[in-house]
Amino acid sequence: MATLDLRSITKSFGTASVLKGIDLAIRDKEFVVFVGPSGCGKSTLLRIVAGLEEATSGQIVIGGTDVSALAPVDRGISMVFQSYALYPHLSVFENIAFPLRVAKLSEAEVKSKVGKAAEILQLTDKLHLKPGQLSGGQRQRVAIGRSIVRNPKVFLFDEPLSNLDAALRGDMRVELSQLHRDLSATMVYVTHDQVEAMTMAHRIVVLNAGRVEQFGTPMELYHHPATRFVATFIGQPN
């Protein structure tokens, strides 16, 4: 069970209080989208969940186990960034295989896992190419492939599509929803794109200045915004 509980998470940088007590209970296999204005703390929260940043206080609990003290690789979490962070000199195959090489898996296991990920992401005929020979959407799929091979229980996406043009974003949205069904993993997805939030989310978290304004289904937020902020931020998608 990959439930993800965030308990009273706070974060300060010096005197600046960036997260002011985040409490959220995310269900197993749920697709939760975080939205909120630039600087409200979305990336900081994701980095804390992934273990790339330490919370000032609070706990991260996955499947009932407190992982707050665990190293990033031991949390069963994978994070996909806006910048793809691919190795330009390595093939698509080796980019996807990278975490498996680090974990010293056998060649047969590497081939099998990379092959499976490539199939899901429609990259099977691209495995011999270098990232520079791919489109933006394909590069983002390679980055996702690299996170899939580790079989994480929880995926974190930080604005993964914001470098792509509008048409491609639409295609990738559909693909990510499909991926969510294929992997049946818990997914947390940050975007500043309302359409993405409204169409992809089971539930949406609206963050504002380090606090949760509302956590609910797209329809709840749309029809019953808890605050004026939510009403203006999400109430009138265009």
* Whole-number Å distance between alpha carbons of 8 and 125: 46
Q: Are 115 and 152 in contact (CB under 8 A)?
A: no
Our CB check for Mg ion shows the closer of 42 and 180 to be 42
Question: What is the footprint of ligand ADP within residues 16-75 (CB under 6 A)?
Answer: 18, 36, 38-44
CA dihedral (195, 178, 121, 60) positive or negative: positive
* Whole-number Å distance between alpha carbons of 104 and 77: 19
* Whole-number Å distance between alpha carbons of 120 and 175: 9
Q: Which does 13 bind (CB under 5 to 8 A by kind): Mg ion, ligand ADP, none?
A: ligand ADP
Fill in the amino acid letter for 46: L
Q: Which residues contact 72 (CB under 8 A, 6 or more apart)?
A: 50, 51, 52
Q: Please state the closest distance from residue 189 (CB atom) to Mg ion, in A.
A: 12
Our CB check for ligand ADP shows the closer of 82 and 91 to be 82
Q: Please state the closest distance from residue 9 (CB atom) to Mg ion, in A.
A: 16
* Whole-number Å distance between alpha carbons of 112 and 124: 12
Q: Whose CB is nearest to Mg ion?
A: 43
Q: Which does 41 bind (CB under 5 to 8 A by kind): Mg ion, ligand ADP, none?
A: ligand ADP
Our CB check for Mg ion shows the closer of 43 and 214 to be 43
Our CB check for Mg ion shows the closer of 2 and 188 to be 188
Q: Please state the closest distance from residue 159 (CB atom) to Mg ion, in A.
A: 6
Q: Please state the closest distance from residue 163 (CB atom) to Mg ion, in A.
A: 13
Tell me how far CA of residue 116 lies from CA of 29, 123, 196, in angstroms: 20, 10, 27
Fill in the amino acid letter for 205: V
Q: Are 96 and 124 in contact (CB under 8 A)?
A: no
Q: Please state the closest distance from residue 82 (CB atom) to Mg ion, in A.
A: 8
Question: What is the footprint of Mg ion within residues 33-62 (CB under 5 A)?
Answer: 42-43
Our CB check for ligand ADP shows the closer of 38 and 106 to be 38
Q: Are 24 and 212 in contact (CB under 8 A)?
A: yes
Q: What SS3 state is found at 32?
A: strand
Query: Could you give the string, one character per residue 94-123, with x where binding to ligand ADP holds by CB under 6 A and - elsewhere?
Result: ------------------------------
Residues that bind ligand ADP (CB under 6 A): 13, 18, 36, 38-44
Residues that bind Mg ion (CB under 5 A): 42-43
